[in-house]
């Protein structure tokens, strides 16, 4: 069992790896804690160092610590070097281009490695495209799943979405502008034209837009239209399957009996799978025989 304690906001709190959320669009969403981390951290590990310096400039913050690139291609190789700084008592802030590190962005591997080494890990939470899109979608928020980017190849995308057709939770996806029309069409085929969805783009920015409707309608609106910017797609979960009746499943009991199962065994198995009373199912099977 491993434990992380404390919530360091600056280097004065001792060695720590800090996952720091950055604005997803509106610079005013930057937290005061993010500003202090950028100014005070010994190392800032940035997905794109140029974007990090541009953000710091807009925030009016001077990054005094060492800035290193930290992206999907070098995350594993660079993890221990960053964590050596933490082990020696320094603070390493991990930032991505937008939003929370490790959520469809670099961060997961260095966190896992820090836990392996018994080092302190914490977060400076803030903007999240996933949660913002979910909240604005108008779809149920009590249970949801984040699915990231759908596969790029049509066949793989179709299989991936088909596997989610009965997912009961609200689903949140990311997608690129040049693939959004094809993805919405694939979602309409996999989930049905009438499944409610929302296309959320340019969240917190000047041209923020949320399109809501059935997936078939959303796919039609996107066809031939270039939706620009960062895009999240939120899709309602599958509706509950209609409750089975005794008459619906008695045939399954008889098929199992014909296949060699004892009647009581077949009744028990089907009753457990459907939630129907064994007594009613047994009586119906006897009557049908």
- At 72 the three-state DSSP class reads coil
Average pLDDT of the residues in 130-152: 97
Task: Give the pLDDT score at 32.
Answer: 95
**12 — pLDDT class (breaks 50, 70, 90):** very low
Task: Give the pLDDT score at 105.
Answer: 82
Q: Look over the chain and give the mean of its residue pLDDT values, rounded to a whole number.
A: 91
Which residue has 């603070």 as its token pair?
91
CB 186, CB 235: distance < 8 Å: no
Percent of all residues in the chain with a pLDDT value above 70, rounded to a whole number: 95
Q: Would you kindly state where each structural domain of the chain is located, as residue ranges?
A: 11-127, 130-235, 246-288
Task: Give the pLDDT score at 240.
Answer: 85
For residue 6, pLDDT over 80 is answered with no
Residues 6 or more apart whose Cβ sits within 8 Å of residue 254: 285, 288, 289
Q: Render pLDDT for 238-247 as a digit per residue (tens, 0 to 9).
A: 998 777 888 8
Rounded Cα distance, 212 and 284, in Å: 46
Q: Render pLDDT for 36-53 as a digit per residue (tens, 0 to 9).
A: 999 999 999 999 999 999
Rounded Cα distance, 82 and 43, in Å: 8
Q: Which tokens in the block code for residue 212? A: 């809501």
Closest CA to 83 of 121, 134, 26: 121
Compute φ and ψ for 173, nearest 5 degrees. Answer: -125, 155
Closest CA to 207 of 22, 26, 51: 26
Q: Which tokens in the block code for residue 209? A: 């837009």
Average pLDDT of the residues in 180-197: 97
Task: Give the pLDDT score at 14.
Answer: 60
For residue 249, pLDDT over 50 is answered with yes
Task: Give the pLDDT score at 273.
Answer: 84
Task: Give the pLDDT score at 242.
Answer: 75
How is domain 130-235 classified at the CATH fold level? 3.30.950
Task: Give the pLDDT score at 227.
Answer: 87
Residues 11-127: name the CATH superfamily: Tetrapyrrole methylase, N-terminal domain (3.40.1010.10)
Task: Give the pLDDT score at 158.
Answer: 96
Residues 6 or more apart whose Cβ sits within 8 Å of residue 35: 59, 61
Task: Give the pLDDT score at 10.
Answer: 41
**CA distances for 1 relative to 59, 102, 118, 125, angstroms:** 39, 22, 10, 24
Q: Render pLDDT for 88-124 as a digit per residue (tens, 0 to 9).
A: 999 999 999 999 998 888 899 999 999 999 999 999 9
Residues 6 or more apart whose Cβ sits within 8 Å of residue 146: 103, 104, 130, 171, 172
CB 167, CB 241: distance < 8 Å: no
How wide is the angle at C-alpha 254 spanned by C-alphas 249 and 259, nearest 5°?
125
Rounded Cα distance, 161 and 138, in Å: 22
């Amino acid at each position: 069992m491993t434990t992380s304690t404390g919530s360091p906001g600056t280097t004065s709190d001792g060695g720590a790896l800090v996952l720091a959320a950055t604005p997803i669009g509106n610079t005013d969403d930057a937290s005061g804690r993010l500003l202090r981390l950028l100014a005070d951290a010994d190392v800032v590990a940035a997905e794109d160092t140029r974007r990090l310096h541009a953000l710091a400039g807009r925030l009016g913050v001077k990054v005094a610590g060492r800035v290193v690139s930290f992206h999907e291609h070098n995350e594993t190789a660079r993890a221990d070097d960053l964590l050596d700084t933490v082990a020696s008592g320094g603070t390493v802030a991990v930032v991505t281009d937008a939003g929370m590190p490790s959520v469809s962005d670099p961060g997961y591997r260095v966190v896992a490695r820090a836990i392996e080494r018994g080092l302190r890990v914490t977060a400076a939470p803030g903007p999240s495209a996933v949660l913002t899109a979910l909240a604005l979608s108008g779809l149920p928020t009590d249970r949801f799943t984040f699915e990231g980017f759908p596969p790029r190849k049509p066949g793989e995308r179709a299989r991936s979405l088909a596997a989610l057709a009965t997912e009961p939770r609200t689903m949140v996806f990311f997608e690129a502008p040049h693939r959004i029309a094809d993805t919405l069409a694939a979602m309409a085929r996999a989930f049905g034209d009438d499944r409610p969805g929302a296309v959320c783009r340019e969240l917190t920015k000047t041209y923020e837009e949320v399109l809501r409707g059935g997936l078939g309608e959303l796919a039609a609106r996107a066809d031939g239209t270039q939706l620009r910017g960062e895009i999240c797609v939120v899709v309602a979960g599958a509706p509950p399957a209609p409750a089975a009746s005794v008459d619906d499943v008695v045939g399954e009991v008889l098929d199992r009996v014909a296949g060699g199962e004892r009647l009581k065994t077949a009744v028990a198995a089907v009753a457990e799978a459907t939630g129907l009373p064994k007594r009613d199912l047994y009586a119906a099977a006897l009557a049908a025989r």
